[in-house]
């Protein structure tokens, strides 16, 4: 019998018996969706936990991105990163907005502010950076650029749940921040997402847009969408919140073991933290350099043969997919850093249920080459 597969991530699942009382309450309430009690409780609990004032829950992070752009009435061109999951750019296309890709910083792997300003045109209306792997962007530099050119900022913060910088939650930056609560994320609601709103007025517009544009029973003011989170998803989120500190501590322990075990291995470099005061250890990316005995893809396949399923995350670049690669900003010569990183990166398994012997097995595979 083969060993149990080790995937790059697994959903964090609290004990099933702890979830049963939540389900019983939902059955007793007979409210399954449309902003019921669990939904309201989770919004408030997330405000308290994350240190933000307004949270609007969604059925997934992609719909939240789509709605954030509509809430700010973004049009024209938006500057964004090619080094992300495709939902970042897809949300722009779905809104009829043209993504303009600029290169990333070689250390943080986030949008490079020095490249942003050069990409601004009269059609530019916003910047959509990504806190890649939960490492904060250079928020101050990006905000200065946005202020100078009167641009909106929407942060794709799918990886950044619980991350803090010196001033508090990184989610407070920009006009809006968008979270994903997909099963692969550090905090999940099976499927889900949220928009962090700066004020009650903005949240009200977002709530209307995620509910078909309804203001009341007979009034529709916008071509909204159905982005509501169900009570079951919200209940699972409430339960997960009770276990987050334990989950983060385990992730930190795994990350520390990787750093220690891979220190000094020729041709393997660990992506450095971007200076956050509180990390969520959402991913553990390494870069396979030219002096490593195997190519990145060879190591990837070698790990698969040992039932370890790492991930080349992000490869290919968004800009290399058919719907984007014809754009001028998507050409590889315009994105040298992102192109190089995408060919070297490998994200190692990291999740609370990952056992110590599995972590050592992964380290041994990398060292054995």
Mean pLDDT in residue range 144-161: 98
- Domain membership flag for residue 3: no
Domain co-membership, 290 together with 229: no
Domain co-membership, 237 together with 249: no
Report the domain count for the chain. 2
Domain co-membership, 237 together with 278: no
Domain co-membership, 177 together with 265: no
**Residue 272, pLDDT score:** 85
Mean pLDDT in residue range 289-315: 97
Mean pLDDT in residue range 20-40: 97
Domain co-membership, 230 together with 185: yes
Final residue in a domain of this structure, among 210, 241, 272: 241
**Residue 273, pLDDT score:** 78
Structural domain including 265 reads: 244-368
Mean pLDDT in residue range 3-18: 92
- Domain membership flag for residue 312: yes
Band (pLDDT 50/70/90 cuts) for residue 1 is very low
For residues 88-98, b (16+ Cβ closer than 10 Å) or e, as one string? bbbbbebbebe
Band (pLDDT 50/70/90 cuts) for residue 349 is very high
What is the 3-state secondary structure of the chain? Answer: CCCCCEECCCCCCCCHHHHHHHHHHHHHHCCCCCCCHHHHHHHHHHHHHHCCCEEEEECCHHHHHHHHHHHCCCCCEEEECCCCCCHHHHHHHHCCCEEEECCECCCCCCECHHHHHHHCCCCEEEEECECHHHCCCCHHHHHHHHHHHCCEEEEECCCCCCCEECCEEHHHCCCEEEEECCCCCCCCCCCCEEEEECCHHHHHHHHHHCECCEEECCEECCCCCECCCCHHHHHHHHHHHCCHHHHHHHHHHHHHHHHHHHCCCCCEEECCCCCCCECCCCCEEEEECCCCCCCHHHHHHHHHHCCEECECCCCCCHHHCCCCCCCHHHCHHHCHHHHHHHCCEEEECCCCCCCHHHHHHHHHHHHHC
Domain co-membership, 180 together with 104: yes
- Domain membership flag for residue 25: yes
Domain co-membership, 232 together with 269: no
- Length of the chain counted residue by residue: 369
Domain co-membership, 222 together with 163: yes
Band (pLDDT 50/70/90 cuts) for residue 358 is very high
pLDDT tens for each residue of 31-63: 999 999 999 999 999 999 999 999 999 999 999
pLDDT tens for each residue of 233-273: 999 999 999 999 999 999 999 999 999 999 999 999 999 87
CB atoms under 10 Å from CB of 289, counted, come to: 12
For the chain, what is the mean pLDDT?
Answer: 96
Band (pLDDT 50/70/90 cuts) for residue 3 is confident
Distance between start and end Cα atoms, the chain: 25
Nearest one of 229, 195, 194 to 72, comparing CA atoms: 195
Domain co-membership, 217 together with 295: no
Nearest one of 245, 227, 258 to 358, comparing CA atoms: 258
| Mean pLDDT lowest among 111-115, 275-279, 327-331 | 275-279
Band (pLDDT 50/70/90 cuts) for residue 186 is very high
> Percent of the chain, pLDDT > 90?
96
**Residue 292, pLDDT score:** 98
In CATH, what number is assigned to the domain containing residue 107? 3.40.640.10
Domain co-membership, 189 together with 273: no
Final residue in a domain of this structure, among 241, 270, 297: 241
């Amino acid at each position: 019998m083969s060993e149990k597969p080790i995937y790059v991530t697994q959903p964090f699942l609290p004990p099933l018996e702890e979830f049963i009382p939540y389900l019983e309450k939902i059955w007793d309430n007979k409210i399954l969706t449309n902003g019921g009690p669990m939904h309201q409780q989770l919004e408030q609990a997330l405000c308290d936990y994350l240190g933000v004032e307004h949270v609007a829950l969604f059925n997934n992070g992609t719909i939240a991105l789509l709605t954030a752009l509509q809430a700010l009435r973004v049009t024209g061109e938006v500057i964004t990163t090619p080094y992300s999951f495709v939902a970042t750019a897809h949300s722009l296309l779905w809104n009829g907005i043209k993504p303009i890709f600029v290169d990333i910083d070689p250390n943080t792997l986030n949008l490079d502010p020095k490249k942003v300003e050069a990409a601004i045109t009269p059609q530019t209306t916003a910047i959509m950076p990504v806190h890649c792997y939960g490492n904060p962007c250079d928020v101050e530099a990006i905000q200065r650029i946005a202020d100078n050119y009167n641009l909106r900022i929407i942060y794709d913060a799918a990886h950044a749940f619980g991350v803090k910088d010196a001033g508090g939650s990184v989610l407070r930056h920009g006009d809006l921040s968008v979270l994903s609560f997909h099963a692969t994320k550090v905090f999940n609601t099976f499927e889900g997402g949220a928009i962090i709103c700066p004020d009650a007025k903005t949240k009200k517009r977002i709530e209307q847009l995620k509910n078909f544009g309804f203001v009341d029973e007979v009034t529709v003011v916008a071509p909204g969408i159905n982005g509501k989170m169900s009570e079951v998803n919200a209940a699972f989120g409430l339960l997960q919140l009770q276990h987050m500190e334990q989950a983060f501590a385990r992730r930190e322990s795994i990350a520390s073991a990787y750093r220690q075990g891979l220190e000094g291995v020729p041709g393997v470099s660990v992506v450095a933290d971007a200076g956050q005061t509180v990390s969520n250890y959402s991913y553990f990316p390494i870069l396979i350099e030219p002096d490593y005995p195997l190519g990145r893809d060879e190591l990837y396949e070698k790990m698969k043969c040992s039932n370890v399923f790492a991930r080349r995350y992000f490869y290919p670049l968004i800009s290399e997919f058919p719907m984007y690669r014809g754009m001028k900003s998507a050409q590889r010569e315009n994105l040298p850093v992102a192109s190089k990183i995408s060919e070297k990166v490998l994200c190692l398994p990291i999740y609370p249920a990952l056992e110590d012997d599995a972590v050592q097995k992964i380290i041994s595979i990398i060292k054995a080459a």
